[in-house]
Amino acid sequence: MAREKVEIFHEHFTYTDEKENARYGVQQQYNKWMEDNGGKINVIDRQFHSSPGNVDITLYYSKKESEKTKKRDK
């Protein structure tokens, strides 16, 4: 049985400076988001879509696993 994926984080970045590493910027945003949310979410899928000057990141987690985590953390 496939786990139900739930989108938890989606960011789109536009960079005008071609020298700037868009993927690094996205990783920093993701790290901050995880830190702000306690880092307790088990990410089961990551999708990066990048083109010159643009990058999208979408993260998914398993709905079932998050419910277990909520119960455990009470």
- pLDDT given for residue 33 in this prediction: 73
| Of 10, 61, 63, residue with least CA distance to 39 | 61
Per-residue pLDDT of the chain (74 residues; tens, 9 = 90+): 566 777 666 666 666 555 556 566 667 777 777 777 776 667 777 776 767 667 676 777 766 544 555 555 55
Q: Where are the domains of the chain?
A: 10-73
DSSP state of 16: S
Give the integer Cα–Cα distance in Å for 53 and 62.
Answer: 31
Q: What per-residue confidence (pLDDT) applies to 64?
A: 59
